[in-house]
Structure 1
């Protein structure tokens, strides 16, 4: 069973990197570009803490999707998600299920994993021959 699944690990890593970047990118689009309508981020100002987070998510989420500078980008995003949790969610309570911090924790550790594992074979980094 291990051999069957392990041969898909490199492609799964690239897919995981892309989807993680896409999900972070969508938060940046919602905060900065106000799309789609009806999100809780419609009143976010660009020069605010949440606006800065949205800018980071928009730019670095895009870089993560294509796999450019994957390790450093993922490391920065991991730190941003840790800040998001401790600044925005933790003060509302200890339990992530009650303070709505589950996504921030998952993004933090997903990006931390990507920072240690790299972007996978289907990335701009791999095409450029970078070893980070």
Structure 2
């Protein structure tokens, strides 16, 4: 078990990076139609979705780099909570039926990162190490 504990900060970084890159895709699909247009996304985007898309792109990039991890993760966690209740909850209680599983998962992964921090492979960790 002790051998696994040594890897925990690196695996935390891996969780942060993968979650951030997956999250960024949603914004990139809304704004740049990359790697494809997001299914069901209106064109042009209403203001609320445009703000959400840029939060996904910029916030995802900052999280991937591990820069300002805690405040960015907290903001993105809140964004996903709002997104769940605005876009999914009205379609039914069960996330598997209302399409909200990703929003809930991102919400709680980001909430965890807000408390756990970025892990050792991050700009935040490098800045902390400087004398």
Query: Same fold by TM-score, threshold 0.5 exceeded?
Result: yes
Aligned position for 2:100: 101
CA distance in 2, matches of 1:61, 1:81: 13
Normalised by the length of structure 1, the TM-score is 0.91
Q: Structure 1 residue 84: deviation in Å?
A: 0.5
Q: Structure 1 residue 37: deviation in Å?
A: 2.5
Q: How does 1:14-93 map to 2 (within 5 A)?
A: 14-40=13-39, 43-93=42-92
Match of 1:7, SS state, is: helix
Change (3 A) 1:69 1:38: closer
Normalised by the length of structure 2, the TM-score is 0.92
Q: Structure 1 residue 41: deviation in Å?
A: 5.4
Report how many aligned residue pairs link the two structures.
129
Unaligned ranges ≥5, structure 1: none
Change (3 A) 1:76 1:44: farther
Q: Structure 1 residue 99: deviation in Å?
A: 0.1
Over the aligned positions, Cα root-mean-square deviation in angstroms equals: 1.5
C-alpha contact (below 8 Å) 1:89/1:100 kept by paired residues: yes
